[in-house]
Structure 1
């Protein structure tokens, strides 16, 4: 008979064989014993943690006529048929290759038929997250209310890809990563069954490399057995997993702590030349430093050590190491490890990280925690600090100006740290509106132009950036000719900030022109100055001709209803909408 991989030979056949998932197996056994099983289950968790195995064991146990305490007997026709896949009442479906609507419809048609041999028909759908949206929709009703003789078990490594409508219809069990100690115990049991000699330290190396997956651990163990001579040794385990022997790791870390750059780089080059995986080496260093800290703080917890063996060399190193520097080592290695996963040249990152570790060990300043960030020169830092101070001063001055403007002429002038030429202060006025230009607009003012601009005003504000729109929140067009309109600002400081900013003026002009299909420019004016200029213009209107020598200017005719409303409540409270 052809050789079978260990993970196939020693696949769990009962709940007690499932390692590290007691919270799941106990619940399932109790449900079988108490006859409180559900119609649908969802098994989710990392790869190689026993999801599909538990599903097949459950299918055997619920149908086995000789089950004891929820465990299958594994001797009857139903148990053996479920194990070898010959029984037609337990169907295992791979959703990765059967993910269409037609396959699910076929299941819906067949679930109505009673089982042929067993008590229940059990459908095990593996990698269920691979089903298409249409397939999920086709499965919904059947999954919610299947016939009494049907049980669905869904298995997936990515439960977040399942629709909530599916998850709400099942009992969910989350399988967790298997601990290193549980994996070691299972590996030892298998090697003893196979009568293969082994070194306990080698099993520790294999278990850690599996990262919580039993199937990965058994696959690695298979490789180690094949690599050696029917014996599991530490050297073979290190070679297969790409890990580093503790002696080499201790020498490398000791060179880092001693700030011996030559020795550290030579050790690293030797390890990389032997084919050690740089990513695995960074992980080994992280766990090794973790063990050093653990030994320093709790030397009695030897069972909690994941990487280190408590020998004389390790004790000497742990005693002399500085815990504060180890914290920095861990940060540097963690950042390097993250960047290495997305790089085609991971060896470069570990070399740079090693140099940083040496700098930290020797007390040299390292300004950055990532390998690709250099320390900033002191001169640049000083210039940056000065710029920050200046910006803070200007910001404070601007806040004072806004406060003074909001109080509308309290007779005090804001002191500016960087005075502008345009900001000539005369009396208590910081902004002087161009009276001549405004009178020209009033002389040629047309109601339809003002209405056109006002109709587009909200659209204009929505087009602007937040900082620009803030200046126009309390501004409104109050008069318009065929090419210019007057924009009234409630606060003088806002008017000045707007008109002194060429970019703002250009943006507003372009925006209003694009919305109205007419080239308008605008003139800003504070609210208090607008009232005075408008009143003077109306008084002199009868004696002044317009600039083009046409008719005498006059206030545009107002609706009598509007006039009466203004008398009742005042013009300030009116908002006219066409």
Structure 2
């Protein structure tokens, strides 16, 4: 016989087998036992919580020849036929693919006929919210005046999409998410029955990943067992679910505790490079902070810590966090989560978050400067928040380097924003930038942008992460000006002469000619370009440029092109 998935093999066959829905199963069992069942039920709730299973059990129970306290016997002809999906009087319909008026009218025409084998003809309509408005109207009349010995069981994950006129004609049951403890007990029971060895922490990770769905938990368990060759280990569960390993989260949180942004960023890059989800990573940070808060409470609350998360290594650094800082970290991570769900720049948001929570005084400074400002967390203002943080992140770069070298900089000697800006200017190689601009052409810039993805693929993972926020903004035959969105990364690459040389060498290989890479912060680029235009216009062409500017004085794009490249390159034509 072909292999069957665990969630199919272990599908509940009686109400007592259903996990985590005791109130619902007890109500249905009593209704069957007292023969007070309704003609229509609505089962709603998250996926994998037992809606369809309860519908099938109810269909068996009302037709069972030998029911026992409201439970189907699973031994009579009716029960056996239902278990083998060959009972003609139990009709399952997928509303997602049968959502038209004609399908419901067909049901309405057939319900008038008596059951062929069982006592009740039961229609189970799954994902009923997918029905069209016309189909709901066709179903409404049948629910209002149902024929005798007919039962409808509607199942949905989105009850808000069902018309109130339908809901009011059914008995409604809301299935809740299954608790992690109930999921754990069920998985332990299944593994023990199959005589499979397992790691308790691995089960905890799977239960957490299932998010309250029993079917999801069994599917993940099935996948982990296949990956581990019929054994369940912690590593297998982490790989299958994408959960962070203990070493990864300990390394990251230790760097945060020690206020070492450079080390924290290194840990972040390793975590993201291993394929871990940024959103799953933020969830883990919040779980760790929650457990640290409980641990620091010095009360019975510490007994409620999640043992699958809180390793001895994390407990050892607990005294480095006070609750105020943990609350701050949770707030920052929560705000970042909202941005992650609506952005494709997840790496950048994670980098900003890492710097912020490893240097919490930045937030204190910002709040002092803007005491009445409400923190921005929605997606519409996400870019504003990034711009606001740019100066603070740049301000921290010197500290990152100092701290990563094992030294400490006195607070009184920390550079101000103006001093830091002057430091950026000192790093700029304006001579090289002007040299590129003096021979810059559009074709060279297009060629530079064409080879840019290939250049990125030649870099290491860490180098690629730094260059993600950079792009060519000007190019000539022998040079490319690359602008960085954030001064922090500009400084780091500019100071790394080996990396800068590697960029130039790789670019030369791709361009098949000598080509120098010159760096500039994007925030400074407009000013540098304007300075070049103001100071380096070819005087011999000044009158010609002036005349062309007059002919096109209403087009600022042409004016800028003439200023930057000269009239020998730009040919102005009237439409």
TM-score, reference length from structure 1? 0.63
Deviation per residue, 1:338-395 (Å, 9 max, x gap): 11122223222112111111121788634456575125999xxxxxxxxxxxxxxxxx
Residue 136 of structure 1 corresponds to which residue in structure 2?
A: 136
Deviations 1:59-89 (A, max 9, x none): 1111112211111111211112112210011
**Partner residue in 1 for 2:337:** 337
Which whole-Å CA distance do the structure 2 matches of 1:72 and 1:348 have between them?
Answer: 57
Give the aligned partner of residue 51 of structure 1.
51
Query: Distance in 1 between the 2:293 and 2:38 partners?
Result: 47
Q: Please show how residues 428-443 of structure 1 align to structure 2 within 5 Å.
A: none
Residue 10 of structure 1 corresponds to: 10
Q: CA deviation at 1:229?
A: 2.5
Contact 2:286 2:330 survives alignment (8 Å)? yes
The 2-side partners of 1:197 and 1:61 are apart by 36
Note the residue ranges of structure 1 that are not aligned, 5 or more in a row: 379-578
Partner Cα separation in structure 1 for residue 300 and residue 130 of structure 2: 48
Count of paired positions: 378
Q: Does the 8 Å CA contact 2:288/2:309 hold for their aligned counterparts?
A: no
Per the alignment, in what secondary structure is the counterpart of residue 43 of structure 2? strand
CA positional deviation for 1:316 = 2.4
Which position in structure 2 is the counterpart of 1:124? 124
Q: CA offsets, 1:272-293, max 9 Å, x none?
A: 1111111111111111111111
Counterparts in 2 of 1:193 and 1:361: CA distance versus 1, 3 Å: farther
- Please give the residue correspondences for 1:317-396 in structure 2 after superposition, counting only pairs within 5 Å: 317-360=317-360, 365-367=365-367, 368=375, 370=377, 372=383, 373=385, 374=388
Higher gyration radius (CA): 1
Is 2:29 aligned against 1:29? yes
1:179 corresponds in structure 2 to 179
Query: How many Å separate the matches in 2 of 1:323 and 1:329?
Result: 10
2:170 alignment counterpart: 170
Instruction: Give the SS at the match of 2:41.
Output: strand
Change (3 A) 1:307 1:167: farther
User: Are the aligned partners of 1:127 and 1:156 in contact in 2 as well (CA < 8 Å)?
Assistant: yes
Residue 79 of structure 1: aligned partner: 79
Contact in 2 for aligned 1:360/1:366 (Cα 8 Å): no
- 1:37 is displaced (CA, Å) by 0.9
The 5 A counterparts of 1:152-551 are 152-297=152-297, 300-301=300-301, 304-306=304-306, 308-360=308-360, 365-367=365-367, 368=375, 370=377, 372=383, 373=385, 374=388
CA contact (8 A) 1:359 1:366 kept: no
> Hey, what's the Cα distance between the residues in 1 that align with 2:237 and 2:361?
31
SS in 2 for 1:98: coil
Report the secondary structure of 2:135's partner residue: helix
CA contact (8 A) 1:291 1:307 kept: no
Tell me how far 1:48 sits from its aligned partner: 0.7
| CA-atom RMSD in angstroms | 2.0
C-alpha contact 1:95 1:128 (8 A) present in aligned 2: yes
Q: Any conservation in 2 of the 1:259–1:361 contact (CA below 8 Å)?
A: no
Maintained 8 Å contact 1:49/1:176: yes
- What is the CA–CA distance in structure 2 between the aligned matches of 1:301 and 1:74, rounded to whole Å? 45
Q: Work out the CA distance in 1 between the residues paired with 2:299 and 2:203.
A: 23
| Shift in alpha-carbon separation, 1:366–1:5, aligned structure 2, 3 A | farther
Distance 1:270 1:25 in 2: 47
Which residue number corresponds to residue 88 of structure 1? 88
- For 2:358 and 2:299, how far apart are their aligned partners in 1? 26
Q: What residue number does 2:572 align with?
A: none
Deviations 1:250-305 (A, max 9, x none): 23112112111121111111111111111111111111111111222265446633
Cα deviations by residue, 1:159-182 (Å, 9 ceiling, x for unpaired): 000001000000000001111111
Sort the Cα spacing of 1:144 and 1:295 in 2 relative to 1 into closer, same or farther, 3 A. Answer: farther
